[in-house]
């Protein structure tokens, strides 16, 4: 048994969608979440910048004693996780668009992917598409501006709705039956997406799969926490930590949100 916390980092509040799945799957685990909102979105940055930010975030979490790190950002995963795994002694869990289940479930043969530029242009994204969806037409759409709106607390605003409509309507017209969310920020848009998409289109994100993989790796490495009455969940943001608190409204337990200048 290992009662050290699980570390999670993202370019802002997006990874809260991943954190919620992990907390649900692993209720005995303490967590430490680092939100690098000051540098969001990562998807617009050069690969070298993304790697540098990922190293900085990782080393901070390791200094805090984390036993495993979830890179809760598609762009950081595709640009940095191989380096992180090669240079640091803890297990890393990465994020990638859930193309495989969408391809397996598609009957129209057309799947939409809404993601950042950094993810869509990555080698990992293209290898995943090639390995799991060679028989499927993948319609890619860069979600320009969506991360910024979410980081401003405007996930349900009219500006966000207009962008979503602009991005998904061509994919709907092309006949997609699944929409893969290729950015951990985008699950926060699901209520708006459901209003803008026809009923028959299934929205898929990777949160549940990441939580299952986190459990599997912790179990495999004998890192699962002992059962305890109280868990502690610490969140740090280098921007508006009050916004981060809003994304955690209604969450029970010992949840602490702090501003950190990093």
Q: Give catalytic residues, as residue numbers.
A: 73, 183
Provide the 10 A C-beta neighbour count for residue 214: 23
């Amino acid at each position: 048994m290992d009662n050290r916390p699980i570390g999670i980092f993202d370019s802002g509040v997006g990874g809260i969608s991943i954190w919620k799945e992990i907390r649900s799957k692993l209720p005995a685990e303490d967590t430490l979440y680092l939100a690098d909102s000051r540098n969001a979105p990562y998807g617009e940055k050069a690969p070298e910048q993304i790697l540098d930010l990922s190293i900085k975030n990782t080393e901070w979490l390791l200094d805090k004693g984390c036993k495993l790190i979830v890179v809760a950002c598609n762009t950081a995963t595709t640009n940095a996780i191989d380096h992180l795994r090669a240079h640091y002694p803890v297990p890393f869990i990465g994020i990638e668009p859930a193309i495989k289940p969408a391809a397996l479930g598609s009957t129209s043969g057309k799947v939409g992917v809404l993601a950042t530029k950094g993810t869509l242009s990555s080698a990992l994204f293209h290898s995943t598409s090639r390995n799991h969806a060679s028989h499927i037409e993948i319609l890619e759409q860069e979600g320009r501006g969506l991360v910024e709106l979410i980081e401003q607390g405007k996930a349900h605003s009219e500006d966000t709705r207009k962008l979503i409509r602009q991005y998904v309507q061509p994919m709907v017209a092309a006949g997609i039956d699944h929409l893969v969310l290729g950015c951990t920020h985008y699950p926060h848009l699901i209520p708006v997406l459901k209003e803008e998409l026809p009923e028959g289109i299934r929205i898929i994100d990777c949160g549940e799969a990441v939580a299952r993989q986190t459990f599997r790796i912790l179990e495999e490495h004998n890192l699962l926490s002992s059962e305890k009455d109280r868990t502690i969940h610490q969140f740090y943001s280098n921007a508006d930590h009050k916004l981060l608190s809003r994304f955690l409204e209604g969450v029970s337990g010992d949840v602490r949100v702090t501003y950190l200048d990093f």
